[in-house]
Amino acid sequence: MSCLMRSSAVVGLPVVTLAGESPFEIKDVVFDRSAGAIVGFTLRKHGFLGGPVDQVVDGSDLLALGPDAAVVADDRSLRVPTTPLGDDGEPVIGDRVLSRSGTDLGTVVELIIEGGPHPEVVGMEVAPTDALVAPEGRAFLPLPHSGAISADNVVVPDGTSAHARPDLRGFAQVVHTFRHELEGEPA
Amino acid sequence: MRWQRLRGLEVVETAGGQTLGRVDGLELDGERAAVRALRVGDRAVPWERIGAGEHDRVGHDAVTVEHERALEPRDGASLDPVGTAVLSDAGVRLGRLVDLELDDRTGEVRRLLLGDDDLAGDRLRGVGSYAVVVAASGDAAGAAPGSSTTGGDPPTR
């Protein structure tokens, strides 16, 4: 598994070409709600006050997402899209996390992204309800490869709460174990 | 031969002895990991047009070219890569470039010298105004500076 990153840390990363130029930085992460895959990034000019630009990075043009940069082949990968990138764009942050059997586990605070050539949302930080054991007032939950994320709720398999962690240490292994267990569950 | 030694050398035309300028930047071919040309202000001299000696292309005290016609016009500022951030093509920052070790004859980049590490020259992918980009290795990929790992876990940001 590649580097794990908070979605808030991905915003503002430079987009760098293999020629060593960086025309823009990441403005927003766009992902496929049903698959958890990153479909691309919207862009903005560099700097805190950098305004948005029309160009985007489509996931198919991304060479890698790392902790310090998103890498593309060249500036032809920074294209003005002819169709919208991703779905309706409703943010997941603030969604309720609901188990399949209907237990409210908390509210999404942050998404956890695995970097690499095919970045993916692998987990989330939640502001927990009493249903989660969270002595530090926050919990990190793994997500399956595909899930149910609507405009209001993130629905997770029963048993997800058993894999809750207080921080990201060891979280990559938690995701691996959680997904491996799910693959063995009956349909 | 180090880039830091090459930088600042006078460029002298052997036909008439005229000093044409000083080396103040590099043009690097990322695919070949080699110097394509030396920048001299708003002009550049291709590497293969440098020197007339039997041994090293670059002299000890000057870069020589046969004639001023060897210099070609260029747009944009010269690029001196020293101090530029070094990024892997996996998006991991590896450090800052301190110097380049170049082959005296072919201009190939033998090594990229960072503050506390050095990388094989054939890892070079490109040099630009924002970063020097190198191919990620199995050791360097995912090694985010300042990150912490536990039990072989990948780093987090």
The reply to whether residue B88 touches residue A66, judged by beta carbons under 8 angstroms, is: yes
Is B100 part of the contact surface with chain A (CB cutoff 8 Å)? no
ipTM of the complex as predicted:
0.86
Q: Which tens digits make up the pLDDT trace of A9-41?
A: 999 999 999 999 999 999 999 877 776 778 899
Closest CA to A138 of A128, A149, A148, A150: A128
**How distant is the Cα of A36 from the closest Cα of chain B, in angstroms?**
19
Query: Can you give the pTM of this predicted structure?
Result: 0.85
What was the pLDDT predicted at A47?
A: 81
A108-120 residue pLDDT tens: 999 999 999 989 8
Residue B82 burial (C-beta neighbours within 10 Å; 0-12, 13-18, 19+)? middle
Which residues of chain B have a CB within 8 Å of the CB of A21?
A: 128-130
Closest-CA residue of B relative to A22 is B130
A183 touches chain B (CB under 8 A): no
For residue B25, the distance in angstroms to the closest alpha carbon of chain A comes to 15
Summarised one tens digit per residue, pLDDT across range A57-66 is 999 999 999 9
pLDDT tens series, chain B, 157 aa: 999 999 999 999 888 889 999 999 999 888 889 999 999 999 999 998 887 555 556 778 899 988 888 899 998 778 899 999 999 999 999 999 999 999 988 999 999 999 889 999 999 999 999 999 999 985 444 433 333 333 334 555 6
